[in-house]
Amino acid sequence: MQMWLNLPWLVVSCFATGHATALLSVHLQNLTLVQMLSYHSHVNLTSRNFPKYLLQNL
């Protein structure tokens, strides 16, 4: 009986986890895109200020 009570919570938590994973995946894809665009752009970025540049544009 207790397992049936926990089932809705299990479904909700699985859905929430899947949603968070999807959002994270999209965010990582965007981050990779930003890195590629920054790398190929004409902006002169040294390796020292490159992470700072990325953080400012997130």
Domain ranges of the chain: 2-56
Q: What are phi and psi of 41, to 5 degrees?
A: -75, 170
Per residue in 27-50, pLDDT (tens digit) is 888 888 777 777 666 455 555 666
Residue/partner pairs of 48-53 with CB below 8 Å, 24 or more apart: none
Check whether 54 has a pLDDT greater than 50: yes
The structure's pTM equals 0.41
List all residues 6 or more positions away from 58 whose beta carbon is below 8 Å from its beta carbon: 31, 34
- State residue 42's pLDDT score: 46
| Cα gap 16→7, rounded to integer Å | 14
Read off the amino acid at residue 39.
Answer: Y
